[in-house]
Amino acid sequence: MERKAHYAPVSIALEKLREQGYTTDFNLKENYIEFALGKFTPDEFEIKDVYRYEGNSDPGDEATVYAIESASGVKGVLVTGYGMSADSNLSAAILSKLR
Confidence (pTM): 0.80
Count up the domains in the chain and report the number.
1
Residue 26 DSSP class:
P
List Cβ neighbours of 37 (8 Å cut-off, separation of 6 or more): none
Per the domain annotation, does 31 fall within a domain? yes
Q: What is the pLDDT of residues 35-62, one digit of tens each?
A: 999 999 999 999 999 888 876 655 556 7
The residue among 51 and 25 whose pLDDT is bigger is 25
Tell me which residue range forms the domain holding 50: 10-98
Per the domain annotation, does 86 fall within a domain? yes
Per the domain annotation, does 1 fall within a domain? no
CA dist 13 and 6 (Å) reads 8
The residue among 80 and 4 whose pLDDT is bigger is 80
Per the domain annotation, does 4 fall within a domain? no
Per the domain annotation, does 5 fall within a domain? no
CA dist 90 and 53 (Å) reads 21
CA dist 69 and 49 (Å) reads 10
Per the domain annotation, does 77 fall within a domain? yes
